[in-house]
Amino acid sequence: MTHNLGYPRIGNKRQLKFALEKYWRGEISEDELSRRAAAVRAANWSTQLEAGIDLIPVGDFSLYDHVLDMSVTLGHVPSRFAGDDASPLDRYFRMARGRSQHGDPVQALEMTKWFDTNYHYLVPELESSTTFALDSTRLLEQIDEARAVIAGYTQSAGPGAAGRTPGAEGGTTAASDARSTRRFAAAGGDETPARCPEVKPVILGPVSYLYLAKAKGPGVDKLSFLAPILAEYRKLLALLDEKAIEWVQIDEPILALDLGREWRGAIRLAYEVLKSAGSKVLPATYFGELRENLDSVLSLAASGVHIDAVRGANELERVFAEYPREKVLSVGAIDGRNVWKSDLSAVTHRLESEYERRGDRLWIAPSCSLLHVPVDLELETDLDPEIADWLAFARQKLAEVRTVANALSNGRRSVAGELAANRRALESRHTSNRIGAPAVAERVRSISPSMLRRHAPYSERRRVQREQLELPDFPTTTIGSFPQTKEIRAARRAHRKGEMTPERYTEFLRGQIAHVIGKQEEIGLDMIVHGEAERNDMVEYFGEQLCGYAFTGHGWVQSFGSRCVKPPIIYGDVSRPEPMTVEWITYAQSLTDRPVKGMLTGPITMMQWAFVRDDQPRSTTALQVALALRDEVIDLERAGIRAIQVDEPALREGLPLRRSDWEPYLAYATEAFRVATAGVKDATQIHTHMCYAEFNDIIESIALLDSDVVTIETSRSDMELLDAFIDFEYPNEIGPGVYDIHSPNVPEVEDMVRLMELAAARIPAERLWVNPDCGLKTRTWEEVVPSLRNMVEAARRLRSGFARRGAA
């Protein structure tokens, strides 16, 4: 049996992104958005059917975020969104963005990282008044949609027969119009008269939902909501059983985390309660080893379980030995988090004996949802063929799943061609002379302790920097990027296609930089930026200029909502052939007397937001990137740039999920940052930026970065994230984000003053900066200009107010 935990939602050419943004701009109707979303879902299901997947996920698609979808399904809508007369869809987007097409602006739900991925989820809020009321409309309608697609596929693929077919546990399942008695193995191998394709709803598990939520208000205990939320899950399972759904995948990714006894108890209790509610449940764990949670998983009162056999490979033999053989064991054998081809012969070898013992009760799947990888490698017609042969995107990973399943059920000879091609690709990568660079390896080995230290401590650097930069109290700045307008994107496309000469493109970009500089001077910002008009993405832009990186044309991955990123692929040793940003930054600085920040992406983010080679330690790759950035930082300083920002928004998300694994990661992460930044003089001010993370547990490591200024996202948390900096007595300067750039709302001056006063109650005012919480590339100028004007006015009021207090 093959199944898939989830498929990319955005469409193979980002159809969903463009539809959402058209709807938000009022260019298409709600009905048209629904039609386009349905087309993406149908295409996803068809792709999985063509790959020979037996159980097709339904409910993995989302218009914005699957956790938000679960909140809506549970009727869990915070009171500030519940009282208006907006349509259900507009209320959904108000929760996500703080605004819809109708209604006044309101604070959106907090957003944070989804485990250690680059995906963001919207955090549910649990208040003492929180109640739940099931709304299964979305999921039930999509089940009907999927069954119609399956019916159409089976009718066109070959003759089928309605009836009752053998279930995975030897019993029978209820028939539906969508079922057929044949499966066509599109990924290779013989046509197998076996089980028919069917839908498998996918929902976030009740315990993970509560764990990932935020308790709002004093005395709110998240586990006190377990009984009422389980009542709604029971109702949902009963409804799914009425729809003749045999299996429901219930994701419990928190089982890869350090859980206390009370949460492990909640997991066990939850599945005792759900076991007789209706359809069979398949709790799915992924993203890491289970460790002390493994006993709980092995004893769950469920009909089966899914195990991540890639990141949890070391536990697989114990699972084989101890998990009851009368239950379904789903093995996540294909890596759903990276883009390298799997070693299909090795995977098959590891599973063959267990398949002989379990037969059809051993299911094959990716390790996790394929949400985290690009859609289809076949779209990459411009990618170097040698490198492309080493890769597998979502569609290709489905073929890998099918190949392994056919090898197990029909024997390796049935897929001999596929296995041979896979071996050739792996050998090609292993022996390629494009992977290693001896000079880069030698430079990493030569890193010395002196390369990790600034000349003087921050307390001395601060005085020198203040004298040179001549900044006021509460200095204002932005995080780096300004709106990427239609004109900028069109010029970039024209330049890439050869329709605009390099000279004309350079002239165009200089005009954009001059416009951004002028706007910032007009608004009154103290430290300004060049706006990054030349950059397509904060990682891809640099990677395109570094050796060891490869790039795709269509390798988009969802970050949140309509925001997609196109991660580069680190396939070999990394080095910088020539300066990357000096020309643009020095041009910007020539236009103004105000200090212009150099803008770079830090080594951990350059690695974390890429698909990283798996043939050497990540720490080695991080140091290679750090040395390349060190060269750039020193070149910027030599060119007269007095402030340089090295962004590390991914530092926190790169943490291993288990606290016991943190120390080695934080050691090489801080070392890499300091390698990149410590080569400058004391007068040069080093900034860094971090977003969407809790900092309490890594505050010491943030201090070890020794950045002169750190800017962080705090607007959606009402400055609560600053508590970590108080308890630790963080010694350097901090810029807490005063407004949420992911919402189109223009912040009020009074709100930003209030937030900064909250910050000043935690951090000495003389060490505070005033800035947005992230870059502005996704916003429009119509939103950015009034927002920044209000921010500058807020800073002026703060200076005046604190000056009066000082005089008093």
Active site residues: 742
The DSSP result for 568-584, as a single string, is: -EEEEEEE-SS-SSHHH
Distance (Å, whole) CA 22 – CA 562 = 11
Question: Can you give the three-state secondary structure of 110-175, one letter per residue?
Answer: CEEECCCCCCEEECCEECCCCCCCCCCHHHHHHHHHHHHHHHHHHHHHCCCCCCCEECCCCCEECC
How many other C-beta atoms are found inside a 10 Å radius of the C-beta of residue 487? 12
Cα distances from 615 to residues 434, 435, 528, 574, 618, in angstroms, run: 13, 10, 41, 14, 9
Instruction: Give the DSSP per-residue string, 441-475.
Output: HHHHHT--GGGG--SS-HHHHHHHHHHHH---SS-
**8 A C-beta contact, residue 90 and residue 399:** no
Decide: 84 and 103 in contact? Cβ < 8 Å: yes
How many Cβ atoms from other residues are within 10 Å of residue 504's Cβ? 13
Give the phi and the psi of residue 11 in degrees, each rounded to 5.
Answer: 90, 155
Kindly state the tokens that stand for 204: 């976030």
Instruction: State the Cα–Cα distance between residues 216 and 777, nearest whole angstrom.
Output: 31
Whole-number Å distance between alpha carbons of 110 and 693: 11
Task: List the one residue out of 423, 272, 276, 425 whose CA is nearest residue 344.
Answer: 423
Which of 669, 674, 595, 666 is closest to 633 using CA atoms? 674
Q: What are phi and psi of 269, to 5 degrees?
A: -65, -45
Radius of gyration from C-alpha coordinates of the chain = 27
Packing angle, helices 416-431 and 394-410, rounded to 10: 130
Q: Tell me the HSE value of 515 on the side-chain side, using a 13 A CA sphere.
A: 15
Question: How many Cβ atoms sit within 10 Å of the Cβ of residue 24?
Answer: 18
DSSP 8-state assignment for residue 740:
-
Residues with Cβ < 8 Å from 143, sequence gap 6 or more? 58, 199, 201, 240, 243, 245
Query: Residue 240 in contact with residue 201, Cβ under 8 Å?
Result: yes
Exposure string for 436-465, b = 16+ CB within 10 A, e = fewer: ebeebeebbeebeeebbebeeebeebbeeb
- Least Cα distance to 433 among 387, 380, 377 occurs for 387
Other CB atoms within 10 Å distance of the CB of residue 127: 13
SS (H, E, C) 257-268: CCCCHHHHHHHH
CB 230 within 8 A of CB 206: yes
Cα-flanking dihedrals φ and ψ of residue 93, to 5°? -75, -30
Q: Are strands 709-712 and 733-736 parallel, antiparallel or unpaired?
A: parallel
Helices then strands, counting H and E runs in the chain, come out as 28, 23
| Cβ(703)–Cβ(730) below 8 Å | yes
Task: State the chain's maximal CA–CA distance in angstroms.
Answer: 88
